[in-house]
């Protein structure tokens, strides 16, 4: 844990979430939501710069991940429940309005919160995370995107994904991070730290239940619009999500901007750190 960072627990929406905090307690609240298969530490390059910019930064382990509580069953990981966790977290810090940044699954939750509770957000930033109302629409239009997302269908199987992903010290998950990123993005020490988080009893099943709960979700007849000022940062070399996913999301933003990083992958916040931090600090402070 770096100097100025604190670690603790918050009970929200019926679960105990582990959170890391930094920055002034009276600063504007910024919540950072990680994706699959990371945990709060995925924001290690953003926490201090945002805190130094005057924000009260809160990076939780989302439910099921790392040191946060893992409720049993797929229904505990429905999108509306994940969104309620974030609202409860903001409430626990006394913030009626706050700024939200999400990557990957954290981005999915961030989009949903902005669509369903626009009055709660000052600013929204999403990094390589699909709008949940549009992801399947884009897959229907794009065979290549459907192919890229085929892993999500594998994750629907009971027990088999857990066995495959955890075998030989999580060899497949480690390789997934390495192969989907630029060389050197994840060091051996980084990967060991992720393995430690994945190894908590029940953690891998909880992480996969985010995907499994999607099949129970009823899509709205029309994609919900985003009224909150929004910044989309997108690594164009993402092997899982085409830029068309970002462009579709931009189309439903009333006040949105899309910044494409041509040499970055899905892990843009770990690769183009200075650019991402500058973009976030500039946008969140407008």
Which of the residues are catalytic? 104, 211, 266
Q: Which residues pair with 9 in a beta bridge?
A: 18
Neighbours of 122 (CB within 10 A): 16
Please name every residue paired with 18 in a beta bridge, in sequence order, or none if there are none: 9
| 253 token code pair | 């933003």
Q: What's the distance, CA 133 to chain centroid?
A: 16
Question: Which tokens belong to 40?
Answer: 């709060």
CA angle 142, 146, 152 (to 5 degrees): 155
Q: Could you give the CA distance from residue 119 to residue 154 in angstroms, rounded to a whole number?
A: 37
In this structure, are residues 53 and 72 in contact, taking their beta carbons and an 8 Å threshold?
no
For the chain, the first-to-last Cα distance in angstroms comes to: 30
Which segments of 53-134 does DSSP mark as H helices, in order? 79-92, 105-116
E runs forming strands in 146-276: 230-235, 256-261
Token pair for 209:
């239940």
> How far is Cα 177 from Cα 179, in angstroms, rounded to an integer?
6
Cis ω on the peptide bond leading into residue 230 (within 30° of 0)? no
């Amino acid at each position: 844990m770096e100097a100025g960072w604190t670690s603790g627990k918050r009970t929200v929406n019926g679960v105990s979430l582990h959170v890391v905090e930094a920055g002034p307690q009276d600063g504007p609240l910024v919540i950072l939501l990680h994706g699959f298969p990371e945990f709060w530490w995925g924001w290690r390059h953003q926490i201090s710069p945002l805190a130094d910019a005057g924000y009260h930064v809160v990076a939780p382990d989302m439910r099921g991940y790392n040191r946060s509580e893992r409720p049993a069953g797929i229904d505990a990981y429905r999108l509306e429940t994940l969104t309620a966790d974030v609202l409860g977290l903001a409430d626990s810090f006394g913030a009626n309005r706050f700024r939200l940044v999400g990557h990957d699954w954290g981005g999915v939750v961030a989009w949903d919160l902005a669509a369903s509770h626009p009055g709660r957000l000052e600013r929204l930033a999403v990094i390589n995370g699909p709008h949940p109302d549009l992801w399947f629409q884009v897959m229907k239009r794009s065979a290549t995107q459907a192919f890229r997302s085929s892993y999500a269908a594998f994750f629907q199987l009971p027990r088999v994904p857990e066995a495959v992903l955890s075998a030989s010290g999580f060899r497949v998950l480690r390789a997934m991070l390495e192969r989907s990123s630029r060389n050197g993005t994840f060091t051996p020490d980084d990967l060991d730290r992720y393995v430690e988080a994945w190894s908590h009893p029940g953690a891998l099943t909880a992480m996969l239940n985010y995907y499994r709960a999607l099949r129970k979700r009823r899509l709205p007849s029309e994609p919900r619009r985003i009224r909150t000022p929004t910044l989309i940062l997108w690594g164009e070399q993402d092997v899982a999500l085409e830029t068309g996913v970002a462009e579709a999301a931009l189309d439903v933003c009333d006040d949105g901007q899309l910044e494409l990083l041509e040499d970055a992958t899905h892990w843009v916040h770990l690769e183009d750190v200075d650019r991402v931090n500058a973009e976030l600090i500039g946008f969140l402070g407008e």
